């Protein structure tokens, strides 16, 4: 199973924008992840988090978690984001922090479907915030 | 009324990620805009457009158009994106191109509401694609 630093490096070297955003994996467990990026490279015209950076970090959070889970099960596949929605509940004025967690049963269902059909889909909820503030975004990741 | 190049420069100097993305305003008319970014700085791990870049460019497209329209009417306000949804219909393997157009009546309603209430909201549809391929995203921009 790849470490957080290996996965972070893989993403930053393959996706130049994630490197510019200073994408960092803070915690990586079997079924959960926490990701962070500093405000400075991700600021908007109002001095708070740029909507595009917030969204991009949330997408990378979900993508990294599912990549980690599938790699740990030796599944070789192409993960893509199929659709997403996001609501911006309040401005972010510090580090942008995203968390995502899935249950074992969600993962089992996702993997079983993939083994049967050769493709699968997983709906993820990403919590986005800065410090205590939490916003919400949701994503559908396809495999 | 600011020119396309002035607005592009304003955005690129205030939002570092837009500069990294090489955000460019290709056309700017009274009620419409076309925006472009090259693939190289916006690529993902599969060699196609990164979902975060595609979304970010679409958000900037809508934000730039409404900024242009409000500035042309001498309205001073803070424009923010309140919520958005996007569907990725096919991979983008060249320049990322976004178009947005609003009708005069949509703008009039948006401005009138703002003049009465001190705030307003506009729903935008952004067409996203590369060359002929067109995807869709929709955004709600608040003023």
B109 contact A CB<8A: no
Domain ranges of chain A: 4-142
CB-based contact A97:A108 (threshold 8 Å):
no
CB-based contact A4:A27 (threshold 8 Å):
yes
Judged by DSSP in three states, A97 sits in strand
Maximum alpha-carbon separation in chain B? 49
B70 contact A CB<8A: no
Q: Is the model's pTM score more than 0.90?
A: yes
The confidence score (pLDDT) of residue A130 equals 83
- Return the number of other C-beta atoms located less than 10 Å from residue B109's C-beta: 13
- As a whole number, the mean pLDDT across chain B is 91
**For B86-96, what is each residue's pLDDT tens digit?**
988 888 999 99
Q: What pLDDT band is residue A6 in, cutting at 50, 70 and 90?
A: very high
- Return the number of other C-beta atoms located less than 10 Å from residue A21's C-beta: 25
Q: What pLDDT band is residue B76 in, cutting at 50, 70 and 90?
A: confident
> Residue B74: exposed, middle, or buried by beta-carbon count in 10 A (0-12, 13-18, 19+)?
exposed
CB-based contact B2:B68 (threshold 8 Å):
yes
A51, A59, A83: residue with CB nearest B59: A51
Structural class in CATH, domain A4-142: alpha beta
Q: What pLDDT band is residue A134 in, cutting at 50, 70 and 90?
A: low
**For B126-135, what is each residue's pLDDT tens digit?**
999 886 556 6
Whether the complex's predicted ipTM is more than 0.90 is answered with yes
Query: Which pair of tokens denotes residue B119?
Result: 């705030």
Which residues in B lie closer than 8 A to residue A62 (C-beta atoms)?
none
pLDDT over 80 (residue A1): no
Q: Which of A17, A39, A49, A123 to mutate to test the interface with B (most CBs of B within 10 A)?
A: A17
Helical segments of chain A, H only: 4-14, 16-20, 51-72, 104-117
Q: What pLDDT band is residue A132 in, cutting at 50, 70 and 90?
A: low
Q: How far, in Å, CA of A56 to CA of B57, rounded?
A: 11
CB-based contact B49:B96 (threshold 8 Å):
yes
Q: How far, in Å, CA of A4 to CA of B40, rounded?
A: 26
Helical segments of B35-103, H only: 51-72
Q: Cα–chain-centroid distance for residue A141? A: 10
């Amino acid at each position: 199973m790849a470490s957080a630093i290996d996965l972070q490096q893989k993403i930053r070297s393959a996706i130049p924008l994630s490197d510019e955003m200073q994408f960092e994996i803070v915690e990586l467990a079997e079924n959960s992840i926490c990701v962070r990026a500093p405000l400075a490279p991700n600021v908007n015209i109002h001095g708070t988090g740029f909507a595009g950076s917030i969204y991009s970090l949330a997408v990378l959070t979900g993508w990294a978690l599912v990549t980690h889970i599938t790699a740990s099960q030796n599944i070789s596949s192409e993960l893509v984001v199929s659709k997403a929605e996001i609501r911006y509940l309040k401005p972010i004025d510090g580090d942008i922090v995203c968390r995502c967690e899935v249950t074992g049963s969600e993962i089992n269902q996702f993997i079983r479907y993939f083994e049967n059909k050769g493709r699968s889909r997983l709906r993820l909820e990403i919590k986005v915030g800065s410090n205590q503030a939490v916003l919400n975004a949701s994503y559908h990741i396809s495999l």
